[in-house]
Amino acid sequence: MVGIHDRELTPLTRAQLDFASAMVDSYARGTKFWFQFWGPLGNPAIEAVDAAAEAQQDYLRKLKETLEEVELQTSTSR
């Protein structure tokens, strides 16, 4: 998702958001792998991990959009 707004964020902020997103994905993959060892008993936990990871990714997307809006407003008000 590369757009005009991606250029508005500072490189540090973009890197921090990308890192947070990667950490959520990594943690979810590792946790789901562990719950697979539980067999059928792990399926509800895997579904919960998927839901939690999706909620975190939604939060990070909304945070990025909000930061882009703030950066855009700040740059246009100068």
Domain boundaries, the chain: 4-69
Query: In which residue are the tokens 């500072």 written?
Result: 10
Largest CA distance in the chain: 58
pLDDT at 43: 97
pTM of the model: 0.80
Tens-digit pLDDT profile for the chain (78 aa)? 445 444 578 899 999 999 999 999 999 999 999 999 999 999 999 999 999 999 999 999 999 999 999 888 887 776
Distance (Å, rounded) from C-alpha 50 to C-alpha 68?
27
Within 10 Å of residue 21's Cβ, how many Cβ atoms? 15
Distances (CA, A) of 64 to 33, 35, 39, 69: 29, 31, 37, 9
**Would you state the pLDDT for residue 1?**
44
Dihedral sign (CA 51, 54, 60, 62): negative
